[in-house]
Amino acid sequence: MTSLTQSYHCGLADSPILYQTIGRYLDTIAKRYPDNEALVVCHQSVRWTYRKFNCEVDRLAKGLLALGIRPGDRVGIWGPNSYEWTLVQFATAKIGAILVCVNPAYGLYDLEYALNKVGCKLLVCAEQFKHSNYLAMLLELIPELEGYDPQSLKTEKLPELKMIVRMGKGHSAGMLNFEHVCGLGGEVETRELELITHQLQPDDAINIQFTSGTTGSPKGATLSHTNILNNGYLSGQGMGFTDQDRLCIPVPLYHCFGMVLGNLACIAHGATIVYPNDAFDPLTTLEVVQRERCTALHGVPTMFISELDHPKFHEFDLSSLRTGIMAGAPCPVEIMKRVIADMHMSDVLIGYGQTEVSPLNHLTLPEDPIEKRVETVGRAVPWVEIKLVDSDGRIVATGEKGEICTRGYSVMKGYWNDKQKTDETIDDAHWLHSGDLGTMDSEGYVRVVGRIKDMIIRGGENIYPREVEEFLYRHPKVSEVQVFGVGDDRLGEEVCAWVQVISGETLNEDELRNFCKGKIAHFKIPRYVQFVDHYPMTVTGKIQKFVMREKMTKILNTAPDAMPV
């Protein structure tokens, strides 16, 4: 391999890109593996072969056509992991409707914003999830709901919403029942579905994913068949998937991790999708991996930590596991080593990317040297270009820090109805700027060192939280740690660490700082240390450092003398 001198790398491919629609691809897989298990939903007692699954997808697709849903219409899905969620994902793909993934944790304000931002014509919703009663929330948002024909809603707050379909067996005034919709299609819709199947194009928009929106309102990343089908296929290929693999998916489907790296990765290779529950629970996940003899397991680092640290962890036989993807947040090196050693996941992969690139642009591979697998996010995936640039947009030399940029098939079509934000993110040469800082070595392997906005500048010294976190993870009593900057009148910013201690252990601030002295630069040693039981995070398991920073600032402003110097 040629040694790189500039931080630019293009992922090598040994096969052509899949240039087809998701619906036609699913039809092909269902014919190839008709008797393979396609979908196992443990909490709903669903166990479908590919033949059965594709039949159910077509039933819903024809039902949606009977309701007047057509290519390009936006269909929202609001709820936790379920068989209904997955049917909606593939049924909308078959008819060319655009699936709008609504965060299950959204409240009324967020829901109203999302549905209006993209102009949803139909919303499919669950009855409830955790503490959220979706049906009651919708009635609060649309008080006139009970008096309308379920197929012709007219609401002041959601002017483009015409129908609501509720999951479950019950019936609600003003809403259609999910199973009822599945039975609406007839011969007319069967012929229409066949016609649409041949008219849809691989570059058509098929999915809108809302970004986290940690600053400002969430943006709707618009993705095509080509974007997400290929990203799913490549992630499955990286894991070495065949039709005999069984992937446990405890991550939420509304996010690319679940619906692309989970659902589409399996469908692309004829493998089996396994949902352990409607939401993540470490004990349930371990039980299902053992019972279903799963060969792969997905999760963000916090999920793997919860599984590894569960009191009953050693009671489970996880020997069927081989691979899976850890992504969604930076992976601590020590956690990666424990997953490989204690969970039998010898071929576990680290994935890195963002919603706007469908979502992976980097992936480690089982054949990569172990140090590359635990210390980097791998190299560019096939057909994708990566470069690292400085603040002036110039490519930096290998080993130097720069912003990670992506160009290729996986880059989104843009933010829905937001040209300004799209132009700020994708430049004239079609490079998507991530906002993440990294370094690239001479072989193209990338190490993510943090977010540009997360970088701590202390007295003129640039400090990358990820570097400090990786060091603190080496402490034998530290279970998890998050490092961020807080304001300081003298130095501009100071280093703060929120630390979770391994169950049964005790640790104090002096002990942690003494562990750092002489091993990392003095200015990187946390001035402020908080011991916590949990971190604020999104429903996908992403740590919200901005929330931690706000809380820490309040603590310091309230009792500055109580914090260590």
Angle at 36 (CA atoms; ends 31, 37), nearest 5 degrees: 125
- Residue span of the structural domain in which 43 resides: 22-210
Of 210, 228, 246, the residue at which a domain comes to its end is 210
d(CA 41, CA 278): 9
On the question of pLDDT at 560 being above 50, the answer is: no
On the question of pLDDT at 523 being above 70, the answer is: yes
Burial of 548 (0-12, 13-18, 19+ CB in 10 A): buried
Q: Which residue has the tokens 């998050």?
A: 482
Q: In this structure, is residue 234 part of a structural domain? A: no
Per-residue pLDDT tens for 107-123?
Answer: 888 899 899 999 999 99
Q: What is the CATH number of the domain that holds 93?
A: 3.40.50.980
Alpha helices in 18-82 (DSSP H): 22-32, 50-66
Region for residue 293 given its phi and psi (left: phi exceeds 0; alpha: psi -120 to 50; beta: otherwise): left
On the question of pLDDT at 562 being above 80, the answer is: no
Per-residue pLDDT tens for 168-189?
Answer: 989 999 999 999 999 999 999 9
Q: What is the CATH number of the domain that holds 514?
A: 3.30.300.30
Q: In this structure, is residue 41 part of a structural domain? A: yes
User: Which one is predicted more confidently, 546 or 280?
Assistant: 280
On the question of pLDDT at 564 being above 50, the answer is: no
Q: In this structure, is residue 42 part of a structural domain? A: yes
Q: Residue 1: how many CA atoms within 13 Å on its side-chain side?
A: 12
Q: In this structure, is residue 419 part of a structural domain? A: no
d(CA 103, CA 107): 9
E strand intervals along 5-129 = 8-10, 37-41, 46-49, 74-78, 98-102, 120-125, 128-129
Contact 87, 261 (CB under 8 A): no
Q: Which residues contact 310 (CB under 8 A, 6 or more apart)?
A: 282, 283, 286
Band the pLDDT of 455: cuts 50, 70, 90.
confident
- pTM for the whole structure: 0.85
Alpha helices in 134-281 (DSSP H): 134-141, 178-182, 187-199, 225-238, 256-258, 265-269
pLDDT given for residue 368 in this prediction? 94
Give the total number of structural domains in the chain. Answer: 2
On the question of pLDDT at 533 being above 90, the answer is: yes
Q: In this structure, is residue 92 part of a structural domain? A: yes
**What spatial distance separates the first Cα and last Cα of the chain, rounded to whole Å?**
50
Query: Amino acid letter at 193?
Result: L
pLDDT given for residue 540 in this prediction? 66
Q: In this structure, is residue 515 part of a structural domain? A: yes
Q: In this structure, is residue 384 part of a structural domain? A: no
Q: In this structure, is residue 254 part of a structural domain? A: no
Of 158, 184, 210, the residue at which a domain comes to its end is 210
Of 192, 210, 228, the residue at which a domain comes to its end is 210
